[in-house]
Structure 1
Amino acid sequence: MDARFVSTLICPVKKLPLRTATKSQLAFLNREIAQGTALMVNGHQLTEPVSDALIREDGDVLYRISDGIPVLLPEEGIGTLQFTDFPK
């Protein structure tokens, strides 16, 4: 995703800037998804691996990128505080 475009995006809840999630953050998330322990904010379990995502500046919420489109719906965010050792 174009860095200039990403720099214009903000979290729909806290209005903090977003940045592209790192490979280590995505790898961690995908391990949790494979183990069945990753939930979206709405409480639904994530079942499909995430290949790309944006993370809020404070590192507390991830937003998936699906087919090149950021899914910035508050209820579909993935809270990282549910994991004890998420890499920020």
Structure 2
Amino acid sequence: MDMDKKLLDILCCPVTKQPVKVLSRDKLKTLNARIAEGSVRSYGDEPVRAALTEALVTDNGERIYPVEDGIPIMLQERGISAREAGLK
């Protein structure tokens, strides 16, 4: 991901206020496998149906936020629990 460092420096989780970083390729691959299985739901209790090409994760590794067309979607209800997705 070519996320602007300045943007990453100011973004934070809307719930925990934790800073965010780019989700690693390995974890993104694992997350997308879980999405393909139909076992991932957002905090808004909606199934996540589409694979993610990019994502951000809180520094503590608890919450994941999708990036769509280069735009981080930092909405609480669109976030994904890393634990529920089997990443933690």
Q: TM-score, normalised by structure 1?
A: 0.92
Distance in 2, Cα, partners of 1:42 & 1:27: 22
Letter in 2 for 1:20: V
Alpha-carbon deviations, 1:36-76, whole Å to 9, x = none?
00110011111100000100011010000011111000011
Q: Which runs of 4+ in 1 moved over 6 A?
A: none
| CA root-mean-square deviation | 1.1
Structure 1 unpaired stretches of 5+: none
Q: TM-score, normalised by structure 2?
A: 0.92
What percent of counterpart residues are identical?
Answer: 30
Distance in 2, Cα, partners of 1:23 & 1:4: 21
Per the TM alignment, residue 81 of structure 1 is displaced from its structure 2 partner at its CA by 1.4
Letter in 1 for 2:7: F
Per the TM alignment, residue 83 of structure 1 is displaced from its structure 2 partner at its CA by 3.5
Matched, 1:14 2:24: no
Pick from 3, 6, 10 the counterpart of residue 5 of structure 2. Answer: 3
Letter in 1 for 2:15: V
Letter in 2 for 1:79: S
Per the TM alignment, residue 7 of structure 1 is displaced from its structure 2 partner at its CA by 1.7
Per the TM alignment, residue 25 of structure 1 is displaced from its structure 2 partner at its CA by 1.0
Distance in 2, Cα, partners of 1:83 & 1:33: 8
45-54 or 1-10, larger mean C-alpha shift: 1-10
How many residue pairs get aligned? The number is 86
